[in-house]
Copies of this chain bind each other. A is one copy, B any other.
Amino acid sequence: MSEVKFNPHVSVDCVVFGFDGKNLKVLLLERHIKEQNEFYNDKKLPGSIIFETEDLESAAYRILNELTGLKNIYLSQFQSFGDPKRTKNPRDIVWLENTTNLKIGRIVTVGYVALIKINSLLQLKNEYADVVWFDVNKLGKTRLAFDHVQIIQKGLAYIRRKSDLEPELLFELLPRKFTISQLRILHDTIHQKQSDVRNFQKKVKKMPYVVALGEKEKNVPHRAANLYKFDRKKV
* Mask of A147-177 contacts with B, CB within 8 angstroms, 1/0: 0000000000000010001000000000000
Q: Does A14 contact B (CB under 8 A)?
A: no
Cα(A4)–Cα(B159), bound, Å: 38
Given contacts A10-B9, A161-B165, contact A82 B108 (CB under 8 A): no
State which of A26-34, A53-61, A180-188 sits at the interface with chain B. A53-61
Q: Does A130 contact B (CB under 8 A)?
A: no
Q: Does A50 contact B (CB under 8 A)?
A: yes
Q: Does A52 contact B (CB under 8 A)?
A: yes
> Interface size on A (CB < 8 Å)?
22
Copies in the complex: 2
Which residues from B are CB-within-8-Å of A55?
82-84
Q: Does A89 contact B (CB under 8 A)?
A: no
Q: Does A105 contact B (CB under 8 A)?
A: yes
Which residues from B are CB-within-8-Å of A83?
55-56
Cα(A106)–Cα(B80), bound, Å: 17
Cβ–Cβ contact A108 & B108, under 8 A: yes
Cα(A113)–Cα(B53), bound, Å: 27
Cβ–Cβ contact B77 & A108, under 8 A: no
Cβ–Cβ contact A52 & B106, under 8 A: yes
Q: Does A79 contact B (CB under 8 A)?
A: yes
Cα(A223)–Cα(B81), bound, Å: 51
Cβ–Cβ contact A110 & B84, under 8 A: no
Q: Does A7 contact B (CB under 8 A)?
A: yes
Query: A166 → chain B, closest Cβ, in Å?
Result: 11
Q: Please pick, from B7, B56, B110, the residue contacting A9 in the complex, using a CB distance under 8 A.
A: B7
Interface residues of A (CB under 8 A from B): 7, 9-10, 50, 52-56, 77, 79-84, 105-106, 108, 110, 161, 165
Q: Can you report 29 residue pairs joining A to B where beta carbons are below 8 Å apart?
A: A7-B9, A7-B106, A9-B9, A9-B10, A9-B108, A10-B10, A10-B82, A10-B108, A50-B82, A50-B108, A52-B84, A52-B105, A52-B106, A53-B106, A54-B84, A55-B84, A56-B80, A56-B81, A56-B82, A56-B83, A56-B108, A77-B79, A77-B80, A80-B80, A80-B110, A82-B110, A108-B108, A108-B110, A161-B165
